[in-house]
Amino acid sequence: MSQKNSTSIFIDEDSESAKALRASELKEKTIGAELAQVHKQIELAIEEKTNLLRDLREAGLGAAADAFLAGERVDVASVDERLRKLQRKADVISLALTKQQAITAANRGKFSRDVCEHPRNRATYIAIQKRKAAAVVEVAASNECEQEFFDALYGAGCSSVSFRPMRIKEVGTLSDPNSRASLHLKELKEFCPEALR
């Protein structure tokens, strides 16, 4: 009774637009991961600064002792400088990510056009719309037949009819220019006339 639904789409992964989109998405993901890493470094530097400032005397002595053991000097000022550098790096990477997202969006637009314009996808879309148009026409025609049938029964003098009217009112009839069936066919005529051939 029902036909197999044919909704598979074709994507040519070897097309230039597909390759550009995939490369752009990968670059965006890589930049996002690097930004997350810098944010983590910022969190660690803030935590280090908080620990240094918790008890200035102990922090100063602890940092001095650690620096002496490591052969270098660490203080709050160096943590602040590292935080400034990390925040600047995060700002630059964040801006780069925003720019890359715009590039990815442009690539996705080109890819989308290529996929939708591919003859196999266009043919699938038209086949779906033809099937839907045929179904709408059939339901609308059966609604009209049912209405005519009941009108004929009452017109013949029946006062009571034992049949239950089961029109699909939401679809309507083709004789009603404002029914959903009529409006759907008008929409098909405008946006996918091939479905009506």
Q: Which long-range contacts (CB under 8 A, 24 or more apart) does 12-15 make?
A: 12/114, 12/118, 15/111, 15/114
Distance CA 5, CA 3 (A): 6
Q: State pLDDT tens for residues 129-183.
A: 999 999 999 999 999 999 999 999 999 999 999 999 999 999 999 999 999 999 9
Residue 67 has pLDDT above 80, yes or no: no
Domain ranges for the chain, please list them. 16-117, 120-196
Please, what is the average pLDDT of the chain? 88
- Please name the residue that has the structure tokens 């990815």: 104
Q: Is the pLDDT of residue 86 over 60?
A: yes
* 65-79, 123-137, 181-195: least confident range: 65-79
Least confident residue range of 28-42, 55-69, 75-89, 99-113: 55-69
152/196 Cα distance (integer angstroms)? 32
pLDDT at 59: 53
The answer to whether residues 80 and 50 touch, using CB atoms and an 8 Å cutoff, is no
| Residue 68 clears pLDDT 80, i.e. is over it | no
- Separation between Cα atoms, residue 143 and residue 139, nearest integer Å: 6
Q: Quote the CA–CA distance of 82 and 42 in Å, as a whole number.
A: 9
Residue the block writes with tokens 């086949």? 127
- Compare 193 and 70 and report the one with higher pLDDT: 193
Q: What is the pTM of this model?
A: 0.65
**Banded model confidence at residue 92, pLDDT cuts 50, 70, 90:** very high
pLDDT of residue 141: 95
Compute the distance between CA of residue 164 and CA of residue 192 in angstroms, rounded to an integer. Answer: 36
